[in-house]
């Protein structure tokens, strides 16, 4: 309006050419510093009629004095700060709630929703935010975006002066009850001269409180809560070491097992401990994990004894931890287990739950069986005792072990002796046998040379075998050795008595080479026996024709065969009796006396002639 018209309704005039309505800029930067300045233009860039103040006009009037005395110092003008700078990031925060009607739920009629009302001082805008609640089923968060909220239909907006505690604030048809504010809000309102009402208690949603209250389930005396038991005892297992005695069955044995009791669901599992080369299939589980019934409800007579599954109403009592303990015997599905030990966790559980302190393990080690002395049955006479003894030592007898070193050293070494059978039968007195002693394995064989027209079939009399001495027992047999064979000694072979009358020259040579292994009497006996033969050899070599000597010996043997059987044993014993020095020589006179005493069936002429050939001296024969 012009200066000539009053600023009254109807006197205002609009400039239709004016298109800019912005306010002039009052903030600026100079040399990197922000400063404020007075607006030089009005709204839309309209210049002020007079930009100089009255003081400046008065100063211009008195400019002359300023030139004379200098410019008068004036105080600095007050700084100008816009509202959006002074109240930047300053927000008033109120705690409030509103009531929302619920018409579709039988459990609640209304719902209390708690919100926060924020008032921004820089531009007088407001927003409402509801904290998000998990699983609430409501669209929560920012209920009203930030803007200036209209107060009434006249176009007024809410101001911070309209806000206080304990009042109802209606925004877009919804009434909010302001109950509390933060410390900054309270200080700001009091600094502006507003009396802040006392805070009120924030009302909670009754349905939410009801949901938060733990539901009191009716106490059922049937048992503890399985879910609570699972959460409390999950992964906690009692371990018992037990022995399953299965000796009542065929091929039964004591089986070491481990019993696992799972506290989470009161199930039991049995695992068998397998050892290397125990002869059993390595099944990991003997009884799978399951609840095991202890006492059944009384069944009807017509109820089948074998069922596929056992229900809870068929069982009166299940196995529980109190049924297990060291030294107790439990029967699980028909198998009896003796618990002899447990692990440390199991001991701590029973000590805390039942107050048991005695956890001494039970000794289940097998006691060593008393060794029963083996009774060897008497020797039955078949085979050698060592071979027969193998039938008593093992089910599948093995041949006796042989001395391989001895067999290799004495291979093909045989001592041969001529023996006569000592028998009351007259026909057996003239029988002669060859006894062979094998040094490789200490066995004896007897062979009878066949004699024509004797009426006895010769051949093998005793096959090669070991011969025990008379008086030895089957438990401790004593066999004949080479040292037991002397000239004139008696050898008893399975009830038959043989007298050694002669030996092979190899026997003398072997005994002389191994004189330390034979008694001196045995070696001397063989030497004395072979001494006359040596004399005959010396005599033959001295000049007597060997043919004449052989003819003489053959003639004497013929006469001896034609006569009655001659007892050569007593004849030799008489010679040894009179040969006290053991030289092997006798006087001619004494020799003839002995021949007359035993009635030697030979003519005196042949006997004297033989004495002459065998004499080594004038008086010795």
φ, ψ (nearest 5 deg) of residue 275: -110, 165
Q: Are 567 and 598 in contact (CB under 8 A)?
A: yes
Are residue 199 and residue 238 in the same domain, yes or no? no
Residue 34 lies in a domain: no
How far apart (Å, rounded) are the C-alpha atoms in residues 444 and 481?
10
DSSP H or E run through 118: strand 110-120
Q: 290, 353, 355, 352: which is closest to 319 by C-alpha?
A: 290
Supply 272's token pair: 């068998």
| pLDDT tens-digit readout, 523-547 | 888 888 887 666 555 555 555 566 6
Q: What is the mean pLDDT of residues 219-246?
A: 83
In the three-class reduction of DSSP (H, G, I as helix; E, B as strand; rest coil), residue 603 is classed as: coil
Are residue 429 and residue 515 in the same domain, yes or no? yes
Q: What is the mean pLDDT of residues 270-276?
A: 92
CATH code at position 429: 2.30.29.170
Are residue 305 and residue 241 in the same domain, yes or no? yes
How far apart (Å, rounded) are the C-alpha atoms in residues 180 and 114?
12
Residue 8 lies in a domain: no
How far apart (Å, rounded) are the C-alpha atoms in residues 284 and 270?
9
Q: Are 582 and 524 in contact (CB under 8 A)?
A: yes
| pLDDT tens-digit readout, 584-593 | 677 777 777 7
The CA angle 203-207-210, to the nearest 5 degrees, is 100
3-state secondary structure 37-56: CCCCECHHHCECCCCCCHHH
Cα 491 to the center of its chain, rounded Å: 67
How far apart (Å, rounded) are the C-alpha atoms in residues 500 and 45?
167
| Residue 249: pLDDT band with limits 50, 70, 90 | confident
Strands, E, within 132-188: which ranges? Answer: 141-147, 168-171, 174-181
Q: What is the largest CA-CA distance in the chain?
A: 215
How far apart (Å, rounded) are the C-alpha atoms in residues 93 and 112?
19
Q: 157, 150, 155: which is closest to 172 by C-alpha?
A: 150
Q: What is the mean pLDDT of residues 230-234?
A: 89
Are residue 534 and residue 573 in the same domain, yes or no? no
Are residue 261 and residue 207 in the same domain, yes or no? no
Residue 17 lies in a domain: no
Residue 29 lies in a domain: no
| pLDDT tens-digit readout, 118-165 | 999 999 999 999 999 888 888 899 999 999 999 998 889 999 999 999
DSSP state of 191: H
Residue 440 lies in a domain: yes
Length of the chain: 621
Are residue 459 and residue 436 in the same domain, yes or no? yes
How far apart (Å, rounded) are the C-alpha atoms in residues 470 and 410?
26
Strands, E, within 246-384: which ranges? Answer: 254-262, 267-272, 287-290, 293-296, 315-318, 329-332, 335-342
Residue 157 lies in a domain: yes
Number of domains in the chain: 5
Are residue 511 and residue 562 in the same domain, yes or no? no
Ranges 170-174, 322-326, 518-522: which has the least confidence: 518-522
Domain that holds residue 485: 412-539
Residue 621 lies in a domain: no
DSSP H or E run through 491: strand 490-493
Are residue 581 and residue 526 in the same domain, yes or no? no
Are residue 484 and residue 561 in the same domain, yes or no? no
How far apart (Å, rounded) are the C-alpha atoms in residues 381 and 57?
166
Q: In this predicted model, which residue has the larger pLDDT, 134 or 324?
A: 324
- pLDDT value at residue 1: 43
Are residue 534 and residue 556 in the same domain, yes or no? no
Are residue 93 and residue 132 in the same domain, yes or no? yes
Boundary residue ending a domain (157, 189, 212): 212
| Predicted confidence (pLDDT) at residue 169 exceeds the cutoff of 90 | yes
Are residue 391 and residue 420 in the same domain, yes or no? no
Residue 322 lies in a domain: yes
């Amino acid at each position: 309006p012009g200066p000539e018209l009053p600023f009254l309704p109807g006197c205002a005039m609009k400039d239709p050419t004016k298109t800019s309505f912005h306010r002039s800029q009052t903030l600026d930067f100079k040399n990197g510093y922000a400063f404020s300045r007075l607006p030089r233009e009005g709204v839309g860039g309209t210049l002020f009629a007079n930009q100089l103040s009255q003081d400046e006009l008065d100063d211009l009037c008195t400019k002359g004095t300023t030139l004379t005395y200098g410019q008068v110092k004036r105080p600095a003008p007050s700084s100008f700060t816009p509202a959006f700078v002074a109240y930047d990031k300053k927000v008033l925060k109120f705690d409030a709630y509103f009531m929302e009607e619920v018409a579709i739920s039988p459990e609640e009629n209304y719902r209390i929703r708690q919100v926060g009302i924020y008032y921004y001082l820089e531009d007088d805008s407001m927003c409402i935010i509801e904290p998000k609640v998990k699983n609430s089923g409501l669209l929560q968060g920012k209920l009203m975006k930030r803007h200036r909220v209209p107060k009434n239909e006249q176009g007024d907006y809410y101001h911070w002066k309209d806000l206080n505690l304990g009042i109802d604030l209606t925004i877009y048809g919804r009434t909010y009850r302001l109950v509390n504010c933060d410390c900054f809000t309270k200080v700001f309102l009091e600094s502006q001269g507003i009396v802040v009402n006392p805070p009120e208690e924030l009302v909670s949603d009754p349905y939410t409180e009801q949901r938060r209250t733990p539901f009191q389930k009716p106490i059922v005396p049937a048992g503890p809560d399985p879910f609570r038991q699972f959460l409390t005892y999950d992964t906690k297992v009692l371990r018992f070491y037990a022995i399953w005695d299965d000796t009542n069955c065929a091929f039964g044995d004591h089986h070491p097992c481990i019993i696992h009791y799972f506290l989470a669901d009161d199930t039991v599992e049995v695992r068998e401990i397998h050892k290397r080369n125990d002869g059993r299939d390595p099944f990991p589980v003997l009884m799978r994990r399951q609840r095991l019934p202890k006492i059944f409800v009384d069944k009807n007579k017509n109820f089948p004894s074998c069922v596929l599954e056992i229900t809870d109403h068929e069982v009166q009592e299940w196995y529980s931890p109190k049924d297990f303990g060291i030294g107790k015997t439990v029967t699980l599905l028909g198998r009896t287990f003796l618990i002899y030990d447990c692990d440390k966790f199991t001991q701590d559980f029973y000590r805390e739950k039942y107050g048991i302190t005695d956890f001494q393990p039970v000794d289940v080690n097998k006691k060593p069986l008393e060794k029963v002395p083996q009774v060897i049955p008497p020797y039955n006479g078949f085979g050698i005792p060592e071979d027969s003894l193998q039938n008593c030592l093992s089910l599948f007898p093995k041949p006796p072990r042989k001395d391989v070193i001895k067999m290799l050293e004495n291979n093909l070494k045989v001592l041969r002796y001529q023996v006569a059978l000592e028998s009351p039968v007259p026909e057996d007195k003239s029988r002669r046998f060859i006894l062979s002693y094998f040094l490789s394995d200490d066995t004896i064989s007897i062979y009878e040379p066949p004699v024509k027209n004797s009426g006895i079939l010769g051949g093998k009399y005793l096959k090669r075998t070991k011969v025990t001495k008379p008086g030895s027992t089957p438990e401790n047999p004593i066999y004949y050795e080479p040292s037991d064979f002397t000239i004139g000694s008696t050898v008893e072979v399975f009830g038959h008595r043989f007298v050694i009358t002669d030996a092979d020259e190899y026997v003398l040579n072997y005994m002389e080479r191994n004189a330390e292994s034979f008694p001196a009497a045995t070696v001397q006996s063989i030497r004395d026996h072979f001494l006359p033969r040596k004399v005959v050899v010396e005599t033959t070599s001295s000049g007597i024709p060997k043919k004449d000597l052989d003819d003489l010996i053959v003639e004497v043997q013929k006469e001896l065969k034609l006569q009655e059987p001659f007892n050569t044993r007593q004849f030799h014993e008489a010679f040894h009796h009179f040969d006290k020095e053991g030289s092997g020589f006798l006087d001619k006179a004494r020799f003839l006396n002995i021949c007359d005493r035993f009635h030697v069936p030979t003519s005196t002429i042949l006997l004297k002639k033989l004495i002459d050939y065998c004499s080594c001296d004038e008086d010795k024969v």
